[in-house]
Amino acid sequence: MAEEVKKIMFTVRKPPHGSIYVYEGLEVKLIMAAYDADISVVFMDDGVFAVKRGQDTKELGIKGFEATYGALVDYEIQKVFVDRQSMESRGMTEEDLVIIGEDEDTEEPIRPQVVDASEIAAMMAEQHNILSF
């Protein structure tokens, strides 16, 4: 009998670069994507800073990971969400968000989907596991 595909959500609530959480979390997502799981990622609270476009980490002497977000769709991680209130309260708009891939047919860039906290809460309740970073 086929096993039920696990629904696994990653929540990202920390800003990037000040700690290793966001980077390590991204590594885990890419690893998990190799397995047959239904993965979703939610950037909420200070986590929205992690998906702001134009991060230049050269002077920090670290590689940065904005480009890696651009490969999420290629890794079949398409369910990527941003909490609207967290984004707006930090002075960001949808245009500020990183690109996570491009549409196969139209080659249009794909950005994370902006949703409300109530939608996130409903999605959380549907998961088998939630990992927070």
Partner 1 sequence: MLHTVNKSPFQNNALTDCSRYVQAGDVVLLLEDGVFAAQAGTTQSALLEKMMEQVTIYALSADLKARAIKALVAGVQVTDYAGFVELVEQHKIHSWL
Binding positions for partner 1, rule: CB under 8 A: 11, 13, 44-45, 85, 117, 120-122, 124-125, 127-130, 132-133
- Considering beta carbons, is residue 38 or 45 the nearer one to partner 1? 45
- Considering beta carbons, is residue 62 or 124 the nearer one to partner 1? 124
Q: Which residue is it, tokens 């959480």?
A: 21
- Considering beta carbons, is residue 48 or 99 the nearer one to partner 1? 48
Q: How far is the CB of 69 from partner 1 (least distance, A)?
A: 21
- Considering beta carbons, is residue 113 or 132 the nearer one to partner 1? 132
Q: Which residue is it, tokens 């930090």?
A: 90
Q: How far is the CB of 98 from partner 1 (least distance, A)?
A: 22
Contacts of residue 73, defined as CB under 8 A and 6 or more positions apart, other chains included, come to 100, 101, 102, 110
Backbone Cα Rg of the chain? 15
Helix extents (H) in the chain: 21-33, 66-69, 84-89, 117-125
Distance, in Å, from the CA atom of 24 to the CA atom of 7, rounded to the nearest integer, reads 20
Q: How far is the CB of 54 from partner 1 (least distance, A)?
A: 25
Q: How far is the CB of 79 from partner 1 (least distance, A)?
A: 17
